[in-house]
Amino acid sequence: MLALALVPTAMADTTPLSTPLPAAPATTTPPPVLPGNGAVTILYKFVPNQDLKYAMQSTTSGSVNMVGRSMPLTETMTADYHMFTKSVDKDDNGTMQMAIDNVAIKMNVNGQTVSMPASAMQNAMSGTTVTMSPLGKVVSFTAPAGSAAQSAMNNVMSPGQMNNLAILPDHPVNIGDAWRGSMNLANLGAQAFLKMTLNGVNSLTGTNVANIGVKMYMNITPSSATAAKLSGIMNGQGTMAFDLDNGYQKSFNEDMTMNLAIAPPTGAATNRPVQGGNINMTINTTMNLLSATILPAGTSPIPPIVPTQTAPAPATGTAQ
């Protein structure tokens, strides 16, 4: 993915994500020296009116087993993804609008093509605003009332949880250094772990780009006994290319496996038999930077909401 390696890459790390990082030994071999002045600082550098436009693609394959019936599923989605910085505060936090456009979706369930209007996916993110720190912590998140984005955040996170996890390290790092974070997603009944490792630094078109290994692990064990329960494991592994000079992500690639079980509700009266099921999916997601553009003040690349297509109204009047 990255063009020219200037330094060796670190050995693969197979330590479980939930294992704490070991204490440093009393004596260590000096870490590799990176180009320039040694250890590197990895931070987002938000610029007002900058639009980062990415080509995004996700491919999903797997099966859903419900009511004793297994249904194979495949889906491919492509889109342009925008991160537009509206403003930067005194602490260098960037407030960004997120949006997608040029959406194309292909889905097949149990051998049948399923229609997925691109406008529905595009509108789901319209109006979404995120304020993020230079370390990648989400300081605040807002979405239009009743939108899919707001519903997703409310179902996963409680207030105050968003800024508990930083994506980037809070100190300079050398090749082979790892940093970790975790988050308790109480609403989902899940514990999420993140581990990132600096694998190398490369030169692309005159800028230094960090090659970062990414691992994600989520264990879902809800405690509610009165609602349908989702439990299981999600594992993800991939790489991120981060432009150290300009302070933004150039590319991202991740493969995720999802093995979840759905238990029926208990302790609740029902007139119908309720059965459980399971979901087994493999998801590949890629994002590649298309452009980084400073737009004139007062302009925005965020596309407008696309009206949902409806059937034309019947004609009225008297035939002549």
Give me the mean pLDDT over the 176-201 stretch.
86
Distance between the two ends of the chain, CA-based, in angstroms?
A: 67
Residue 289: beta bridge partners?
54
Per residue in 217-236, pLDDT (tens digit) is: 999 887 654 455 778 999 99
Give me the mean pLDDT over the 100-106 stretch.
90
What confidence score (pLDDT) does residue 310 get? 42
* Total Cβ atoms within 10 A of residue 101: 19
Structural domain spans, the chain: 47-294
Question: Is it the case that residue 137 has pLDDT exceeding 60?
Answer: yes
Give me the mean pLDDT over the 232-261 stretch.
95
Sequence letter at residue 318 = T
CA distance 94 to 83: 10
Among residues 283, 238, 280, which one has the least CA distance to residue 60? 283
CA distance 168 to 196: 8
User: Where is mean pLDDT largest: 5-14, 58-67, 111-120?
Assistant: 58-67
pLDDT-derived band of residue 270, with 50, 70 and 90 as boundaries? low
Residue 79: beta bridge partners?
56
Pairing state of beta strands 277-294 and 50-66?
A: antiparallel
Question: Is it the case that residue 177 has pLDDT exceeding 90?
Answer: yes
* Total Cβ atoms within 10 A of residue 304: 10
CA distance 122 to 101: 6
Of residues 128 and 237, more confidence is placed in 237
Among residues 301, 305, 284, 256, which one has the least CA distance to residue 148? 305
DSSP label of 302: P
Of residues 264 and 7, more confidence is placed in 264
Per residue in 50-98, pLDDT (tens digit) is: 999 999 999 999 999 887 788 999 999 999 999 999 999 999 999 999 8
What are the distances in angstroms from CA 285 to CA 103, 176, 204, 305? 15, 25, 22, 24
CA distance 310 to 148: 20
Give me the mean pLDDT over the 245-265 stretch.
91
Looking at 2.30.230, 2.40.160, 3.30.1360, 1.10.10, the CATH number of the domain 47-294 comes to: 2.30.230
Is 0.85 surpassed by the pTM of this model? no
% of the chain surpassing 70 pLDDT? 68
